[in-house]
Structure 1
Amino acid sequence: MHIGLLTDTFARETRFGLSRYSHEIHGSLSAAGVRTTPMSAVSAYGDEEPDWLRATGFRRLPIDRKLLAGTWSLVPWPPIERWAPDVDLVHALDTDYPLATNKPWVITFHDLGVLTHPAWFGKARPWLLKRCVAAAVDRAAAIICVSQATADEFLGITGGRGAERVRVIHEGVGEEFFLPATAADIAALPATVTDTPFFLFTGSISPRKNLLRVLEAFAEVADRIPHRLVMTGAPGWDASPEMAAVSQGPLRDRIVNLGYVSDAALKALYGRASAFVYPSLYEGFGLPVLEAMAAGCPVITSNQAPLTEVAGDAALLVDPTNVRDIAQAMLSAATDEAQMKALRAAGVDQARRFSWAECGRRTREVYAEILGA
């Protein structure tokens, strides 16, 4: 079995979100002895590919990504096997455009927010994803959705077409998040997050992440607790209001914006935070919730799918549109140690239900079903 992996995120310098998924699928296939060829028209490295990338068998497609996506959205040519003629199947791991191939095609949909909530995806191109969904219904051998919520979105958009080929395969959480942070990683944290208790907010900053309401909620309780609010992640599209509120708001001296941090630093932050605050307005899955739980951090998240699908009963669930609801949960996290101790234990148990090994195993089952292997 030789699997071609089409990905826009594999050759990144940093791994989070879609990039983490692409690497975990590649890693699980390789560990199971499945031959893979990661392919992409996108690379952060140009012609100077690092050793780790070359070792994966990565193949850079000699065509601009925008041109490739636009062409494949209009005509199924040139087929991707022109650059990988011996693959048995091609899996599009994280792309939002159709694939031209004469081989069996599997596609993973992480979310369909560009179509269902376009106001939160201002720089996206809905027509491209519409073409991708239509092509998947017509031609894909299997359609993997990372949550039931995403599967429901897909079937809602297609009117139920393709339902017999939809497979819900949850993402997982890396085993490294269950391990305690090292003393060196904790010591490397800045003093602003080690000398005072804090809440943690992570992720690319954009309207759907709901940071403005988190800031309002923090302001409601700040005079009753000593906590800071620590943020990690880079600004996404249209983050100007959020960044202005962080840098110019009345509580700016109690907000620490660390930007992008490594997995090791993130795990150390999870381990020290009073709670991970993640009342997102929209997600396709919600991987940060699992990572926080695995690291033993109490979680405050939205009472909407798929975050309820991921968190189960192991988090404080809040109405993400209700500032007072978020504020009350933050106050509980800061003051009710017995409740937080219970949430830490429940969160670890919940995170154990989601593993990349299981994600990879079920993905291989899809390939085997298609190829008769």
Structure 2
Amino acid sequence: MTRLLVDGISFQLNDTDIARVWCSVLEQLAQAGRFEIYFLDRGNAPEIDGIQYIPFPRNLFAHNPADSMLIQRICDHYAIDVFTSTYYTSPMHTPMLLVVHDMIPELFNFDLSQRIWMEKDAAISYAQRYLCVSENTRRDLLALYPEIPSEMATMAHCGIDEVVFRQRNASAIANFQTKHALERPYFLFVGSRAQHGGYENSDLFFEALARIQKADFDILYVGGEHEVRQHILDTLPKGVCCNMLELTDDELALAYGGALALVYPFLYEGFAMPIIEAMASGCPVITTGHGSLAEAADDAALLIDGESVEEMHQALMRIQDTVLRETLRT
């Protein structure tokens, strides 16, 4: 049986989206029984039957060679056949499959001299096979690293837990809304609102909201930053409230189910999990056609160009039409 070593670094980093994907992947791998799975536990590891956990030092992103050498010692000790990482760490000579989620830092002017991105570059240069979460990510990877043979990079879309992300009944949604004092219709915004290189594009949403003269809705933020910038609060239409919640996946599915729409104005994503979660939960989606976003949404979302404030404003108004929302739900 093939011996697989997985570095659980994304759980240490508490990267919620990536860690959630990996938790599902690990559960499926363990159930399949085709691998003898070993897991480097750097902290916050999920408890999954059928996996052997190995306590491992936290990665401080300050000693890449030492970290890789220690990974290799584990590979040698357990006679590992294949290594993979939940983020961007690598061994010294054990064969590696690298899962590539996106090329955002490389395309949006991040400081690539930061150690974490240097480790990503090292992992890409070292790996022998690549699994990209969207065709768009695969194209970007091959464009940025033309030395990688195209046949060595494959694509597989991320899936969702259909037991959790599904359309809920009206009473369950109403109970959720009552519990969290969501008394009016609301637009849902999931994830970071920070402007790292501008790819989140959240300002487009807020600028469009400012154009609405009379608003009978609120905004629900799930995840991301713990505060809304004051200058944004100052521009919101009169009476609009911003609610911020940290939710379990089950609660998030209910939040999707009760929303007017998920607003996801990003200009780039590796593969936008909130979009497919929302659609599976019966939530209309407003997003852009950039990167893998159209790939994720297909023809089941209200697509905008991501640059026009007026177009976003019109989308926010249109999505409140009951007929359009029902069309997008189905």
- TM-score, structure 1 as length reference: 0.77
What is the aligned-residue RMSD (CA, Å)? 3.0
Q: 2:115, 2:210 → 1: CA distance?
A: 33
Letter in 1 for 2:84: H
**1:228 paired residue number:** 218
**2:53 paired residue number:** 58
Aligned pairs for 1:11-26 within 5 A: 16-26=16-26
Match status 1:216 vs 2:203:
no
Structure 1 window deviating more from structure 2 (123-132 vs 303-312): it is: 123-132
The structure 2 residue matched to 1:99, chosen from 91, 98, 118, is 91
Q: 1:120, 1:227 → 2: CA distance?
A: 39
**2:4 paired residue number:** 3
Please state how far the C-alpha of 1:81 moved relative to its aligned partner: 3.2
Match status 1:339 vs 2:324:
yes
Change in 2 beyond 3 A, CA 1:66/1:11: closer
Give ranges in structure 1 of 5+ residues lacking alignment: 346-373
Letter in 2 for 1:280: F
Greater relative CO (CA pairs within 8 A, separation 6+): 1
Give the paired residue count: 325
Please state how far the C-alpha of 1:135 moved relative to its aligned partner: 1.6
Match status 1:269 vs 2:255:
yes
Change in 2 beyond 3 A, CA 1:76/1:274: same
Structure with the largest fraction of helix: 1
**1:88 paired residue number:** 81
Report if aligned partners of 2:98, 2:124 keep a CA contact under 8 Å in 1: no
Change in 2 beyond 3 A, CA 1:79/1:149: same
CA offset digits 1:17-72 (Å, max 9, x no partner) = 10011111101111212344353362148xxxx8x3687432222x3413686116
Report if aligned partners of 2:167, 2:257 keep a CA contact under 8 Å in 1: no
Q: 1:272, 1:286 → 2: CA distance?
A: 20
Match status 1:260 vs 2:246:
yes
Please state how far the C-alpha of 1:333 moved relative to its aligned partner: 0.6
Q: 1:124, 1:215 → 2: CA distance?
A: 33
Aligned pairs for 1:1-373 within 5 A: 1=1, 2-10=3-11, 16-40=16-40, 42-44=42-44, 52=47, 56-61=51-56, 63-66=57-60, 70-71=64-65, 79-82=72-75, 85-92=78-85, 94-102=86-94, 104-119=95-110, 125-136=116-127, 140=128, 142-175=129-162, 176-180=164-168, 183=171, 186-189=174-177, 194-207=182-195, 208-221=199-212, 223-235=213-225, 243-251=229-237, 253-334=239-320, 336-345=321-330
Change in 2 beyond 3 A, CA 1:124/1:71: closer
Letter in 1 for 2:184: T
Q: 1:272, 1:79 → 2: CA distance?
A: 48
Report if aligned partners of 1:69, 1:97 keep a CA contact under 8 Å in 2: no
Change in 2 beyond 3 A, CA 1:178/1:325: same
Report if aligned partners of 1:5, 1:91 keep a CA contact under 8 Å in 2: yes
